[in-house]
Structure 1
Amino acid sequence: MVHSSRRDRVIAECGAKPGSVEDYPFGDGVAVFKVAGKMFALVPLGPSPGSVSLKCDPDLAIDLRRQYAAITAGYHLNKRHWNTVTLDGSVPDGELLDLIDHSYELVVARLPRAERDKLNT
């Protein structure tokens, strides 16, 4: 997968989640994906290779940062709960998609039951 299509695929995956809304609260340069008003992914739209910031279980976040040079503490985010993944291809696509799912599921799990029920997840 080339760099720009990797970012496009990340954006498509985030946008395909039930209840996902793409927003630009920080300006045109960062696509922010939310579910029930809560962020689960931030995708800067700058130069390649690009990156995505995702919510992550703190213990898993530390393991991932040890395993992959392309995964670092969340850029401008709570470094305990967010990772930033450089989309340079060094993190396998399957792992990247799993991390998007993980981020989304962490946010959904903290929503009130009524909000979760609306998502039918």
Structure 2
Amino acid sequence: MNHSAFLQYCMAKPGAEQSQKNRWNANQVKVGGVMFAMVDPSEGRLAVSVKTSCEQARRLRNEYREIVPSQNLNKAHWSTLYLDGSLNDSLVYKLVDGSYQLALGRLPENSLQEL
């Protein structure tokens, strides 16, 4: 997987919008103003960040050396995934789906109905 494929998958989600975070030189993907993914080219490796529960983040970081706490985000919830071929694409897609669902859970009911 590469950044382009990752962004394409994220942008296919209902209501997904992309924005640039100039301070970090990163592309953020949000739904209803709530971020659920970020592509960070400054890592020196193909890297993206997604949000999970604290428990899932700990489990993933223990299981995969390519998943680490995100540098610029809440380290308890946000994990950076290195997309250099070691992680299975299906795992990355599953984590994006979960992160998207967490973002939806933070939206007011009227915003959800618009999606």
Asked whether the two chains share a fold, i.e. TM above 0.5, the reply is yes
Cα distance in 1 for residues equivalent to 2:50 and 2:73: 10
Structure 1 residue runs of 5 or longer lacking an equivalent are: none
Find 2:30's aligned residue among 24, 28, 34. Answer: 34
Mean Cα deviation higher: 18-27 or 52-61 = 18-27
- After superposition, residues 1-121 of structure 1 pair within 5 angstroms as 6-26=2-22, 29-46=25-42, 49-119=45-115
* TM norm structure 2: 0.91
Tell me, what secondary structure is at the counterpart of 2:92?
helix
Q: Tell me how far apart the structure 2 counterparts of residues 82 and 55 of structure 1 sit (CA, whole Å).
A: 4
State the 1:88 CA deviation: 1.2
Q: Percent identity?
A: 36
- Cα RMSD of the aligned pairs, angstroms, is 1.7
Q: Residue by residue, what CA displacement relative to the aligned partner does 1:67-110 show, whole Å, maximum 9, x if unpaired? A: 10000011211011100001111110000000011111101012
Question: Does structure 2 retain, via aligned residues, the 8 Å contact 1:15–1:22?
Answer: yes
Q: Distance in 2 between matches of 1:93 and 1:48?
A: 20
CA deviation vs aligned residue, 1:4-47 (integer Å, no higher than 9, x gap) = xx221101011111101000132583111011111111102357
Q: CA offset at residue 50 of structure 1?
A: 1.1
Please give the TM-score of this superposition, normalised by the length of structure 1.
0.87
Specify the code of the residue in structure 1 equivalent to 2:59: D
Query: Following the alignment from structure 1 to structure 2, what is the Cα–Cα distance between the partners of residues 91 and 17?
Result: 21
Listed as ranges, the gaps of 5+ residues in structure 2 are none
| Aligned residue identity for 1:43 | V
Which aligned segments of 4 or more residues in structure 1 are displaced greater than 2 angstroms? Answer: 25-29, 45-49
Give the 3 Å change call, closer, same or farther, for CA 51–34 of structure 1 in structure 2: same
